[in-house]
Structure 1
Amino acid sequence: MFPRDVYTFYDSENRTWSGRNVPLLYNPNQSIGEFVWQILSRAPWKIAQISADSGVRVTYHEMRLRSVRVAQNLASIGYETGDVMTIISRNNQNLAPVVFGCFMLGLSINSLDPKFHRDDFAHMFATVKPKVVTCEGDLIEEVKAACEMANIEPNLIVFGPRVNGYTRVDDLLVETGLERQYQPTKIKDPANQLAIILCSSGTTGKSKGVCLSHALCVANLTTVWPSFESDRVLCLSSLYWISGLATLLTATASGSTRLITTKPFTARMMIALMEQYRVNMIFFPPSHALAILNEPTVGMADFSSLRLVMCGGGPVSANLKRSFEMYLSKGQFVVAYGMSEVGGLAAISDVAYKDGSVGVLSNQVKAKILDDDGNLVDIGEKGELLIKKSFVFMEYFGNSEATEEMIDSDLWLHTGDIAYFDEDGLLFIIDRKKDIIKYAGYQISPSEIEDVILQVPGVNSVCVVGIPVEGNDLPAALVVKFTGSEITENDIVDAVASTMNDIKHLRGGVYFVSELPMTPSGKPLRRKCRDIIICFHNEAKQSVH
C-alpha cells in the first residue's frame, strides 16, 4: 500500500511533509496527574500490573489507592508542586505508584538509569538539584557519593528493605484515612509546567536534561501505539528511557496489563515471559530483537499471542524485520522512530514499509529536510531531518544554549539525523549528523570516552567512533601514540573499562595510526576516522576466519 495522500501528505510549495491530523484522543489541558487519577478508576477490577519476579498482581483500584497514598504522604512530609524527585530504579512493583503519586502531587520527576556510575549520577544531580532521591537499596552508597560530588543534600527514600534508617517507599504507601477525599493538584498551565526530566546525550560530553511538560505527556505518551484493555504489554526499559515512560502511560491509559521484572534482559528470559504470560505487545531495541533471533531455542518458541512487536532506538534493518516476522503467526513487527526531545514517536511503519525505512510520519507530525547550507531539499534528496509537533520538549534543563541549538525560532526541532523522503512519503534515516554512538539503545558521546583515553600515559590523540553492526554501534578508538610509547590496545581497553560503565566499553577495539585525519582547524575528521577503523575491524575479522 502506498500511503501518500492517505497517511502522509506533501506540501510542494513549502517542501514539507506531514502525517495525518487526527484530533488528540485525550485533552492535553490537564496535568498528567489528573489524567492518571481519573483513568485508574475506569476499570478498577482490571489487572494493571503483574510482577514476573514475585507473581504479585495489582488491580487498577489498588494502583490508584497506592498512588494517592504516595501523593498524600509526600505532601505530609512537605513536598509540593515544582519540587524535583530523582528516581533511580528498575521496574519493581512499587515504581508505578511512586511515579503516579508524584504526578498527582505535581512533583517533577528526573529518571536516571540504575546502571549509571557515580560520576553520571553526580552530573545530573548537579544539573537538576533534586530535593529528594528515591533509589533501590543497593545503590545507596553510589547515590550518597554522587550527592557529595554534586554538593547537594537531598532526602533519600529507598525501594525495598529498610537501609540505615532511611525512609522506605513502603512508608509512603501506608493508609492515610483520607484517600476518598483526595483530589490531585491542579496545574494552571500544563503546556509549560515541568512533569519529567529525561536524559539525552550531547555530542560534547555529559547528558542533558530533556524537560517534558504535563501537556506533552498527556498528548504524546498515552497513545504511542493502538492499545486495548485485553493486552498484556512487556517492555524491559526502565523509566530512564522514553520507551519505558511511554509503556507505563500508554498501557495505563488503555487499561492494559503491564508485565514487569527487575531482571536484566536475556533472550531466553524474554521468550519465557512472552510464552508464560501470553504477551500481546512488546517494545524493544534492535539489539534485543537480534539476541532473540540468535537464541538457540527460538525455533521452539510460541509467539502466537503476539499482536504487535515494536522495535526502535537504533537502526532496524529489513533483514532483522523479516527474520523476526517469520516467527509471528499473526502479529505485526513495526519499526518505530522517535527521540526524547520529540516526546515520543515521529514515524512508524505500521501502515506502510519499504526496506530500510521507518515508515511514515506519526499523527500531527510535520517534517522537512535541509541541506548543509540550510536550504530545503526536494523529494529523494538527503539532508538533516527537522521535526515539528504540537508538543515537543520544553528545554534542556538549565542549558539555554543547547536548547536554542535544538529548536530554532520557528519551533522546528533539529534531530541531527540525516534522512530523506521517497516519492511515496516513506522516511529513511541513513546517518547521524551528530557524533553520537548508539549501543544497546543508549546514546554515547564519543568525547566522554576520548577524555578518559587521553588521560592514559602514552596517548597523544584519539578519535572514538561507532562501528556499525546489526542493531548496534560498537565503540572503537583510533589512537596516536607519543613517540617511544609502548602502550597497548589492552591498556586502553582496561582504562576505559575501569572508569566507565559497561555500555561505554570499547567493544569495537583500539587501533593505532601514525596520525589522525584532521580538519584545517585541527579537529579530527570523524567520518574518515570511522572509515579507517571499519577497514581495520573488517581486516581483523577476516584474519580470524
Structure 2
Amino acid sequence: MHHPRNIFAYYDPSTKIWSGLPRKPIFNPVQSLGDLILQILERNATKLMQISADSGAEVTGGELRLRTIRIAQNLTRMGYGSDSKDIFTMIVRNGEHTAPVMFACFALGVPVNTLDPSFQRDDLSHMFQAVRPTVIFCETESLEETIAACELAAITPRIILMGSHVEGYDQVDRLMMVTGQEELFVPTRITDPVQHLAVLICSSGTTGRSKAVCLSHSICIAHVANFFECHPSDRAFAFSSLYWLSGLVILLCGTILGATRIITRQTYRPELALDLIRKFRVSALCITPSQAYGIVHSGLAKPEDFTSIRHAFCGGSAVSTSLKRSFEQLLPGRFLEVAYGFSEIAYSVSFSKGYLYRDGSVGFPRAGTEFKIIDDNGNALDNGQDGEIVARGEFAFQGYYGMDQPFGDMLDSDGWLHSGDVGRFDADGYLYVVDRKKEMFKYNNFQISPTEIECVVQEMEGVAAVCVVGIPGEPNDLATALVVRKNDCAEVMDAEQIVRKVNLQLPDYKHLRGGVYFAKELPLTPSGKVLRRKVREMIMNLMDNK
C-alpha cells in the first residue's frame, strides 16, 4: 500500500514534528504581486487568459495587462495609491472587470478586502468598521445594502459600480479610459513584500463574526499561487467569488501559471456547473463539498460530462470519504483531491495526491509545512493521539486587521499557528481532522465531536444534510440535530428514527438528548460552509415554538 512517509512527509520522533518536503516556491515570493502578474500577462500577451461564460467575451493576457494599467493610472489620477493609507473593498462577482481591478490594486500596493455580494448590511458594516475602506467596488444590485452599511459604519468612501449605471455613482468603465501613458507605467515599488498587505480575506465566520485576515504579497505568491495545480493548457474554473479563498486561488493560480480562467457572475447550481464544464471543457476544477454533493446527487451528472477534467480539487470544509468516492465515480481513472488549510496563511497545509489518500484523512503535509499535535498544555503528542493541530511554514500568520489583539490566540511565540481543530496523525503521515475545537462540547465531562454524530445521521437514506450542535442544558450541553430531509422522504422519516439510529451506533453520552429538528435547508456561508451559530439560533427558535 502506498503511503507518503519518508517520501513526501517526514517524522522527527524526538520533537514529534511532521514536515513536508523542503521545497521552495516556483516563483520568488519576495517581490510585488502586481509586478509579477503584469510580467506574466506581458509574457502571455497573445494567449487567451479569460473567458466569460455569461457574455462569451474572450480576453488575452495583453488585453488584461492594458486594462490593469489603465485602471491603476486612472485611480492614481483620482488620488489613490500606495503612498496613502488606502484600503479598497471589492463586493463583486466573477465579472469581466474583476481581475483587472484586483490586479491594479496589487500594482499600486493598495490592500483589497474581498466580500461577497450576498452579504447584508449588518455583515458588511461589521467588516467596514474593521477595515475603513476609502474606495468600494460593488455590484449594482449590492448598492443599497452597501450604502446602508456605510451609514452604519460611519464611513464615506467613494463607491464605484461594476454593473449598470446609477446616477451619482462612478462606473468601472471610467477607470479604463485611455491615459496615453500606458507604456510608461511602472508598478509601485514594494520595499517589504513579506509585510506589505495585498489582500484582507475574511475568516470563515462559521462560529463567530468574520475577521479580516492579513495576507501579504509574499504569502499570496508563495501560498495562494501554489495552492492549486494549474498548467498553461488548463481551463480553470470555480464558482467562488473573491470573498472566499478558492476564488482567490483560481484567480492567482490561473493567471500566474498561465491557464485560461472561465468566469461567471452566476451562482452555483448543479445543472449550471455541468453545463459550464461541458461547454468550456474545464480541465482544472475547484469546488466546495456542498457543490460536489449537489452534483453527485443531482441525478444529472454522467462520467462523459467530466472527460475534460484533469485535476479536481475539493476543500473549504470537511470532505467525507463517501463524497470523495462518489464524485470519483464521475472521474474514471482520476481523483478528487482533498485538502486542509487555513485562511490565516492562505494555504492548504495538507492535501491528498492520487493514490496517496487514506479514508477519513485530509492527506499529508504539503511541501514547506510543519505540524504538531498538542494537548491542552502545549505538549506534543504521539501519532494516533487526538489533540489540537498546530502548523507553521516559511511565511507566518500576519494577524487580523483592525483588532486590538491582531493575533488573538492563533499564533504562539515559536511561530506555530493554532488551528482550533482537533486531529491526529497516523504512523504513515496521514492527517485526520476530528472536529473544530470550538465546536466540540461536553456531556458529563465527555468530549463530543459533532462530526461523528453527523456522519451517522448522514448515512440514513432520507437525509440530505445534517448539522449537530450543543444546546445549553442543565448541567450539560445537549447534542441536538437539525436535519434537511430529501424531498421524497419528508413524510416517512421522523425524529424518532434518527434518534434510534444514533442510539444504536454511538455510546450513551453521544446520544441526541436535545432532540432532532427539521428545516428546508441549512444556513451556509457563500462558499458552502454550515453556519453553526445560525443553526444553533434556528434550533433555539424551534424549541421556543414547540
Q: One fold, TM greater than 0.5?
A: yes
Q: 1:118 to 1:533 in 2, by over 3 A?
A: farther
* Rounded Cα–Cα distance in structure 2 between residues aligned with 1:390 and 1:473: 38
**2:398 maps to which residue?**
394
**Does the CA contact (< 8 Å) of 2:229 and 2:311 recur in 1?**
no
- Does residue 208 (structure 1) correspond to residue 201 (structure 2)? The answer is no
Q: Secondary structure at the match of 2:243?
A: coil
* Rounded Cα–Cα distance in structure 1 between residues aligned with 2:195 and 2:210: 22
- Does residue 50 (structure 1) correspond to residue 51 (structure 2)? The answer is yes
**Does the CA contact (< 8 Å) of 1:406 and 1:415 recur in 2?**
yes
- Does residue 106 (structure 1) correspond to residue 109 (structure 2)? The answer is yes
Q: CA deviation at 1:468?
A: 3.2
**Does the CA contact (< 8 Å) of 1:476 and 1:533 recur in 2?**
no
Q: CA deviation at 1:391?
A: 1.4
Q: CA deviation at 1:402?
A: 5.3
Unaligned runs of 5+ in 1: 438-464, 482-491, 494-508, 512-527, 539-545
* Rounded Cα–Cα distance in structure 2 between residues aligned with 1:112 and 1:65: 26
| Residue in structure 1 matching 2:125, options 122, 130, 150 | 122
Q: Secondary structure at the match of 1:191?
A: coil
- Does residue 232 (structure 1) correspond to residue 232 (structure 2)? The answer is no
Q: Match of 1:358, as an amino acid?
A: V
Q: Match of 1:15, as an amino acid?
A: K
* Rounded Cα–Cα distance in structure 1 between residues aligned with 2:249 and 2:38: 17
Q: CA deviation at 1:162?
A: 1.4
Deviations 1:79-106 (A, max 9, x none): 0114100000111111000000111011
Q: Match of 1:468, as an amino acid?
A: E
| Residue in structure 1 matching 2:158, options 155, 160, 172 | 155
Q: Match of 1:19, as an amino acid?
A: G
Q: Match of 2:395, as an amino acid?
A: F
Q: Match of 1:70, as an amino acid?
A: I
Deviations 1:349-383 (A, max 9, x none): 01510000111111100000001222110011110
* Rounded Cα–Cα distance in structure 2 between residues aligned with 1:531 and 1:414: 30
Q: 1:128 to 1:530 in 2, by over 3 A?
A: farther
| Residue in structure 2 matching 1:322, options 313, 321, 325 | 325
Q: Secondary structure at the match of 1:295?
A: coil
The number of equivalent residue pairs is 472
| Residue in structure 2 matching 1:372, options 348, 355, 376 | 376
Deviations 1:93-123 (A, max 9, x none): 1100000011101111000111111000001
Q: Secondary structure at the match of 1:190?
A: coil
**2:487 maps to which residue?**
none
**Does the CA contact (< 8 Å) of 2:219 and 2:345 recur in 1?**
no
**Does the CA contact (< 8 Å) of 1:345 and 1:362 recur in 2?**
yes
Q: Which moved more, 1:382-391 or 1:328-337?
A: 328-337
* Rounded Cα–Cα distance in structure 2 between residues aligned with 1:480 and 1:424: 41
Q: 1:510 to 1:326 in 2, by over 3 A?
A: closer
Q: Secondary structure at the match of 1:353?
A: coil
**2:40 maps to which residue?**
39
Q: Match of 2:97, as an amino acid?
A: N
Q: How do 1:39-438 residues align onto structure 2 when only pairs under 5 Å count?
A: 39-81=40-82, 82-201=85-204, 205-299=208-302, 301-350=304-353, 352-401=356-405, 403-435=407-439
- Does residue 28 (structure 1) correspond to residue 14 (structure 2)? The answer is no
Q: CA deviation at 1:475?
A: 7.1
Q: Secondary structure at the match of 2:200?
A: strand
Deviations 1:451-479 (A, max 9, x none): xxxxxxxxxxxxxx888366976376848
Q: Match of 1:434, as an amino acid?
A: K
Q: CA deviation at 1:319?
A: 1.3
**Does the CA contact (< 8 Å) of 1:478 and 1:533 recur in 2?**
no
**1:497 maps to which residue?**
none
Q: CA deviation at 1:202?
A: 5.7
* Rounded Cα–Cα distance in structure 2 between residues aligned with 1:125 and 1:529: 43
* Rounded Cα–Cα distance in structure 2 between residues aligned with 1:116 and 1:436: 28
Give TM-score, length-normalised by structure 1.
0.82
* Rounded Cα–Cα distance in structure 1 between residues aligned with 2:465 and 2:121: 25
Q: 1:309 to 1:162 in 2, by over 3 A?
A: same
Deviations 1:213-269 (A, max 9, x none): 111111111121231111001101100011111110011011101111111111111
* Rounded Cα–Cα distance in structure 2 between residues aligned with 1:377 and 1:257: 44
Q: Match of 1:474, as an amino acid?
A: C
Q: 1:355 to 1:268 in 2, by over 3 A?
A: same
Q: Secondary structure at the match of 1:165?
A: coil
Q: 1:246 to 1:300 in 2, by over 3 A?
A: closer
Q: Match of 1:342, as an amino acid?
A: I
* Rounded Cα–Cα distance in structure 2 between residues aligned with 1:235 and 1:529: 41
Q: Secondary structure at the match of 2:407?
A: helix
Q: Which moved more, 1:315-324 or 1:254-263?
A: 315-324
Unaligned runs of 5+ in 2: 442-449, 459-463, 475-481, 484-493, 497-507, 519-546
**Does the CA contact (< 8 Å) of 1:8 and 1:19 recur in 2?**
yes
Q: Secondary structure at the match of 1:298?
A: coil
**Does the CA contact (< 8 Å) of 1:477 and 1:510 recur in 2?**
no
Q: How do 1:466-485 residues align onto structure 2 when only pairs under 5 Å count?
A: 468=454, 474=467, 478=471
Q: Match of 1:163, as an amino acid?
A: V
* Rounded Cα–Cα distance in structure 2 between residues aligned with 1:204 and 1:423: 32
* Rounded Cα–Cα distance in structure 1 between residues aligned with 2:284 and 2:318: 20
**Does the CA contact (< 8 Å) of 1:383 and 1:420 recur in 2?**
yes
Q: CA deviation at 1:414?
A: 0.2
Q: 1:43 to 1:385 in 2, by over 3 A?
A: same
Q: Match of 1:403, as an amino acid?
A: F
Q: 1:146 to 1:267 in 2, by over 3 A?
A: same
Q: CA deviation at 1:393?
A: 2.9
* Rounded Cα–Cα distance in structure 2 between residues aligned with 1:475 and 1:160: 40
Q: 1:359 to 1:65 in 2, by over 3 A?
A: same
Q: How do 1:496-507 residues align onto structure 2 when only pairs under 5 Å count?
A: none
Q: Secondary structure at the match of 1:403?
A: coil
**Does the CA contact (< 8 Å) of 2:471 and 2:514 recur in 1?**
no
Q: Match of 2:426, as an amino acid?
A: D
**Does the CA contact (< 8 Å) of 1:280 and 1:306 recur in 2?**
yes
| Residue in structure 1 matching 2:512, options 527, 532, 535 | 532
Q: Match of 1:144, as an amino acid?
A: I
Q: 1:479 to 1:433 in 2, by over 3 A?
A: closer
**Does the CA contact (< 8 Å) of 1:50 and 1:58 recur in 2?**
yes
Q: 1:146 to 1:280 in 2, by over 3 A?
A: same
* Rounded Cα–Cα distance in structure 1 between residues aligned with 2:300 and 2:512: 38
Q: CA deviation at 1:34?
A: 1.0
* Rounded Cα–Cα distance in structure 2 between residues aligned with 1:427 and 1:230: 32
* Rounded Cα–Cα distance in structure 1 between residues aligned with 2:363 and 2:517: 32
* Rounded Cα–Cα distance in structure 1 between residues aligned with 2:114 and 2:120: 14
Q: Secondary structure at the match of 2:50?
A: strand
Q: CA deviation at 1:39?
A: 1.0
